Amino acid sequence: MKPAIELKDVSFAYDIGPPALEHVSLAVGEGEFLGLVGPNGGGKSTLLKLVLGLLRPSSGEVRVAGGTPQESRKVIGYVPQYARFARDFPISVDETALMGQLGATRLLGGYRAADREAARLAMTETEVLDLRQRPLGTLSGGQLQRVLVARALAGDPSILILDEPTANIDMRGETEIFDLFKTLNQRMTIVVVSHDIGFISRYVTRVACLNHTLLCHQPVPLGLDVIEKLYGMPVQLIPHGTTCKTEAKP
Amino acid sequence: MSAFLEALAGHAFLQHALAAGVLASIACGIVGSYVVVKRIGYLAGGVAHTVLGGMGIAYFLGKSPIGGALIAALLAALIIGWVSLRLRQHEDTIIGALWAVGMAIGILFISRTPGYNVDLMSYLFGNILMVPRADLLLIAGLDCVIVALIWLFRKQFLAVCFDEEFARLRGVPVDLFYLGLLLIVALTVVILIQVVGLVLVIALLTLPAAIASQYARSLAAMMLTATLLGIIFTGAGLALSYEPDLPAGATIILLAGLAYLLSALGRGLWLRWRRTTTLTEAKR
């Protein structure tokens, strides 16, 4: 299996503070669906930024699709956590999805018919085509997330990277969007960052646990011992679907 | 009002003033929309005030003050842009410093300029009634440059304003377009200084666009609305100030400020009313 993403002994430290990542080695094969889990501040977002080429490693090497992250940006579709931009920005769903074509379209003037077609296909796939005229600010959390996935897909990526895609979505929306990722996984490599180990383990092919260094990467399901090591404390597992009942006292 | 219209037919200076208002509104509608959605009003303020330094030096050397303003504005935009890209955590301190130092340089040089004393007030608050024909052509030329640049690179400017990180990942040279946007802001500031003066530049750059942002569903619609509003404010400001002989620039800005206040209040009340009615309907 050819690696789509490969990190070789990567360390990274920001200007201030302790190292965010230490000696991380990880290979993500083509067609894999990798879940990246770990506590807040554990370096998940830093690792994504290294793969996207927004940061350069202090030591070690990052390769994406056989090239440097900067060379391979065009094959990556990236879905950020949506709090990055102003919700009241005057922009429609259509215009947002079209931005996925920025790397492929012409330099001057507006978008071409081919760009609009690519965006239309992407919006169809994520089921937001009927929202295309709507301003972004009027969408629900789940709808917005699908638009951002459409924007990433419009660039026709072979690797899809998602940062906490369900942070602002309810349980039902979460299941629906992961079903979509499962379908997309048939034709592209997917890396998804999440703090919800239990939920994603039903979808991903492998989980990588990150807390400054790579603690494990292994097929699902994870044992309790691994999760306790990840969080550095005893944890209790509650399966999804469990409803908490408050028992009425007689 | 009729006295204003009569005067307008008879006096070239009023026609020039009206034309200057329209030309400036085009630039402020388009560029102001970017300033508002990208939230760089303070940055634009920094550029606007640094301009006084360039004007003062140009005056001292006996050169055209608008040329000095242009050079100072472009220089300030590049410095501030570089600072905001590289030293983000010190951005507002450095903008504040440039702001003050630029003005101080301007005042120092103007005070040392031999001959009759330059009317500082007209640079601070502008004098739309004294825009010469040559400046009108210059403003029209700058308008054309702005419209052409933004037309050609509208995809990139939108992407950079909306989501810098994503634009960078799609291969857009974000730093270049961000600096380009600031240079365009600087050009616009130079245009607007002729009309309303530099203290009030920020108001005309942001108020029409801010009102438009409350209603517009796309950046293009926002630019168009802001431009029309700018034309209305400058036209109405000129008409209102003519008979009582009020300062035109200040009248224009007060009008724009009042419209913004009313629009924001009205919209707030409307949203509140809509929320309560949906809530009552939901309760039924």
Looking at residues B210-235, what average pLDDT do you find? 94
Q: Looking at residue B130, what is its pLDDT?
A: 81
Query: Which of A14-28, A143-157, B227-241 comes out lowest in average pLDDT?
Result: A14-28
Does position B278 have pLDDT exceeding 50, yes or no? yes
- CA distance, residue A225 to nearest chain B CA (Å): 37
Provide the token pair at B219. Answer: 């950046």
Looking at residues A3-13, what average pLDDT do you find? 90
Searching chain A, which residue's CA lies closest to the CA of residue B37?
A89
Burial of A156 (0-12, 13-18, 19+ CB in 10 A): middle
| pLDDT: which is higher, B186 or B114 | B186
Looking at residues B260-281, what average pLDDT do you find? 86
Q: Looking at residue A249, what is its pLDDT?
A: 45
DSSP single-letter state for residue B243? T
Closest CA to B51 of B92, B107, B8, B2: B107
Strand partners for B126? none
CA distances from A29 to A4, A5, A65, A100, B10 (A): 5, 7, 10, 24, 79
Q: Looking at residue B184, what is its pLDDT?
A: 92
Measured distance CA(A109)–CA(B128) in Å, rounded: 35
Measured distance CA(B178)–CA(B173) in Å, rounded: 9
Measured distance CA(A229)–CA(A215) in Å, rounded: 8
To which residue do tokens 């922009």 refer? A91
Q: What is the gyration radius of the CA atoms in chain B, in angstroms?
A: 20
CA distances from B75 to A103, A109, B95, B161, B182 (A): 31, 28, 13, 22, 10
Measured distance CA(B20)–CA(A236) in Å, rounded: 71
Instruction: Tell me the pLDDT of chain B averaged across its residues.
Output: 87
Does position A247 have pLDDT exceeding 50, yes or no? no
Closest CA to B33 of B248, B229, B259, B234: B229
- How many CA atoms within 13 Å lie on the side-chain side of A66? 5
Measured distance CA(B49)–CA(A84) in Å, rounded: 31
Query: In this structure, are residues A119 and A94 in contact, taking their beta carbons and an 8 Å threshold?
Result: yes
Band of pLDDT at residue A188, cut at 50, 70 and 90: very high
Chain B contact set for A112 (CB, 8 A) = none
Query: Which of A61-65, A113-117, A244-248, B134-138 comes out lowest in average pLDDT?
Result: A244-248
How many C-beta atoms surround the C-beta of residue B153 within 10 A?
20
CA dihedral B92, B93, B99, B103 (to 10 degrees): 170
Query: In this structure, are residues A148 and A170 in contact, taking their beta carbons and an 8 Å threshold?
Result: no
Burial of A34 (0-12, 13-18, 19+ CB in 10 A): buried
Buried b (16+ CB within 10 A) or exposed e, A42-64: bbbbbbbbbbbbbbebeebebbb
What proportions of chain A, in percent to the nearest 5, are helix, strand and coil? 35, 25, 45
Chain B contact set for A110 (CB, 8 A) = 154-155
Are B154 and A110 a contacting pair at CB < 8 A?
Answer: yes
Does position A245 have pLDDT exceeding 80, yes or no? no
| pLDDT: which is higher, B190 or A94 | A94
Task: Report the residue from B153, B168, B170 with minimal CB separation from A155.
Answer: B170
Q: Looking at residue A250, what is its pLDDT?
A: 45
Measured distance CA(B57)–CA(B65) in Å, rounded: 8
Task: Report the residue from B162, B171, B221 with minimal CB separation from A85.
Answer: B162
Does position B162 have pLDDT exceeding 90, yes or no? yes
CA dihedral B118, B119, B124, B127 (to 10 degrees): -120
Looking at residues B225-253, what average pLDDT do you find? 91
Query: Which of A113-117, A205-209, B147-151 comes out lowest in average pLDDT?
Result: A205-209
A interface toward B at CB cutoff 8 Å? Answer: 52-54, 73-74, 76, 78, 80, 84-86, 88-92, 95-96, 98-100, 102-103, 105, 108-111, 135, 151, 155
Q: Looking at residue B191, what is its pLDDT?
A: 76
Are A85 and B159 a contacting pair at CB < 8 A?
Answer: no
Does position A243 have pLDDT exceeding 60, yes or no? no
Q: Kindly state the percentage of chain B with pLDDT values over 70.
A: 94
Task: Report the residue from A53, A74, A90 with minimal CB separation from B218.
Answer: A90
Band of pLDDT at residue B283, cut at 50, 70 and 90: low
Q: Looking at residue A230, what is its pLDDT?
A: 63
Closest CA to A79 of A154, A12, A28: A154
Does position A239 have pLDDT exceeding 60, yes or no? no
Burial of A141 (0-12, 13-18, 19+ CB in 10 A): middle
Looking at residues A119-137, what average pLDDT do you find? 92
Query: Which of A31-45, A93-107, A125-139, A191-205 comes out lowest in average pLDDT?
Result: A191-205
B interface toward A at CB cutoff 8 Å? Answer: 37, 39, 151-156, 158-159, 161-163, 165-172, 213, 216-219, 221-222
Largest CA distance in chain B: 78
Measured distance CA(B72)–CA(B190) in Å, rounded: 9
Query: In this structure, are residues B216 and B222 in contact, taking their beta carbons and an 8 Å threshold?
Result: yes
Does position A215 have pLDDT exceeding 70, yes or no? yes
Q: What is the gyration radius of the CA atoms in chain A, in angstroms?
A: 19
Chain A contact set for B152 (CB, 8 A) = 108-109
Could you tell me the end-to-end alpha-carbon distance of chain A, in angstroms, rounded to an integer? 61
Measured distance CA(A97)–CA(B204) in Å, rounded: 32
Task: Report the residue from B156, B159, B163 with minimal CB separation from A84.
Answer: B163
CA B268 distance to own-chain centroid: 25
Looking at residues A218-241, what average pLDDT do you find? 63
Q: Kindly state the percentage of chain B with pLDDT values over 90.
A: 39
Provide the token pair at B151. Answer: 């037309």
* Interface ipTM > 0.90: no
Provide the token pair at A66. Answer: 């056989």
pLDDT per residue as tens digits for the range A66-107: 889 988 888 999 998 766 788 889 999 999 999 998 888 888
My answer on whether omega of the bond before A221 falls inside 30° of 0, hence cis, is yes
pLDDT per residue as tens digits for the range B48-63: 888 888 988 988 888 8
Does position B87 have pLDDT exceeding 90, yes or no? no
Instruction: Tell me the pLDDT of chain A averaged across its residues.
Output: 84
